[in-house]
Amino acid sequence: MKDPHDIILRPVLTEKGYDGIADKRYIFEVDIHANKTEIKKAVEACFPPVKVARVNTLRTLGKMKRQGRFEGRTAEVKKAYVTLTEESKPIEFFEGMI
């Protein structure tokens, strides 16, 4: 297995992300090649007292951008919506944000 910190890149801190914290649902930006099983194991390894109930993933293509006459795409992003079990403790990283 890859290093858990290589799979989970950063948390997504948006209004929708903050609304899910009360329901123990967190959003992370993850490696594009990571699957749901790897994401689940990485979250449980990075934040030890938590248990993951399910993982939903979303992959977005980069937008087309132009700089003068040259065109290119922005980076592709994969997000993981992680839901914890009812018995699980919330992730301590997000404790002061609610």
Task: For the chain, list the domains and their CATH numbers.
Answer: 4-85 (3.30.70.330)
pLDDT digits (tens, 9 = 90+) for 13-41: 999 988 998 899 999 999 999 999 999 99
pLDDT, position 92: 78
CA dist 51 and 2 (Å) reads 19
- Burial level of 89, CB count in 10 A (0-12/13-18/19+)? middle
pLDDT, position 95: 62
pLDDT, position 42: 94
What are the per-10-residue average pLDDT scores of the chain (98 residues)? Answer: 88 91 93 95 91 95 95 96 93 66
